[in-house]
Structure 1
Amino acid sequence: MFIAYVVIAAILTATLAGSAYLDLTREEKLVASLTGLGVPEDRIPQLGLIKLAGVIGLLVGLWIPAIGIAAAIGLTLYFIGAVVAHLKAGDHQIAPPAMLGLLSAAALVLRIVSM
């Protein structure tokens, strides 16, 4: 199960690192999308920092299981919040945050069972 965690963590960290970069650099299309969901523009870099914390946590979780578990819990909650934000704004294109939430939940389960 540990190898499965490593694979899921690698997919998540690569995806989230790219997403965090877009948040931190305030990429134009991303800003338009997030502000359309009601996210204040000045909060977008904070979302990127949360994602970076998740990336670091998943990677550290390779050696310290409790950190990986905490990161996976945080990311799962983050993406549940993202899905809720999309739905509250009337945007039903929830596949990307829902998939990342499911991957985060999978990382959580896999890290727990691989201890």
Structure 2
Amino acid sequence: MPIAHVVVTLLAAAMSGYSAAAILFRAGWVLEALTDYRVPRSWWLRLAAAKAAGAVGLVAGLFVPVIGVMAGAGLVLYFAGAVITVVLARRYSHIPFPLVYAAPVVGALALGFAA
């Protein structure tokens, strides 16, 4: 297994896990953004759980590749939905934020397929 794949996958998992923890631990800047984007409070825990599951799935994918592919695909869809949510909220300057989190996930998927 190429070292670049492992490093990028662990980075993607760490970033997704951090993003989930920011919601779970009620980081003010995250809650303010979710409120500004009009994301219902009832969704917040589910969104955090989805990101946390994706992070765990990426790490598990280092041992069982199909799990990593599914987790990566799920996270890419999640962050694509986040971009759409930001656009619908007309917060165009915030579009790069979900893309920054999606980039290492896409990189991990690409490196996994290349290996």
Quick check: TM above 0.5? Answer: yes
Partner of 2:14: 14
Q: CA deviation at 1:12?
A: 1.3
The answer for the alignment partner of 2:60 in structure 1 is 60
TM-score scaled by length of structure 2 = 0.90
Q: Which residue of 1 aligns with 2:112?
A: 111
Equivalent position of 1:82 in the other structure: 82
Question: TM-score normalised to the size of structure 1?
Answer: 0.90
Q: Which has the higher contact order (CA 8 A, sep 6+)?
A: 2
Q: Percent identity?
A: 35
Asked if 1:36 corresponds to 2:36, the answer is: yes
Q: CA deviation at 1:38?
A: 1.4
Take 2:2 and 2:68, find their aligned partners in 1: how far apart are those partners? 12
Could you say what secondary structure the match of 1:49 adopts?
Answer: helix
Q: Deviations over 1:58-85 (max 9, x none)?
A: 0001111101111111111111111111
The answer to whether structure 1 residue 51 and structure 2 residue 57 are counterparts is: no
**Residue equivalent to 2:99:** 98
**C-alpha RMSD of matched pairs (Å):** 1.4
* Number of residues of Structure 1 aligned to a counterpart in Structure 2: 114
Q: Distance in 1 between matches of 2:102 and 2:85?
A: 13
Contact 1:76 1:105 (8 Å CA) reproduced = yes
Cα deviation, 1:18-46, whole Å, max 9, x if unaligned, reads 21111112223211111110101121111
Gap regions ≥5 residues in structure 2: none
Which residue type is aligned with residue 113 of structure 1? A
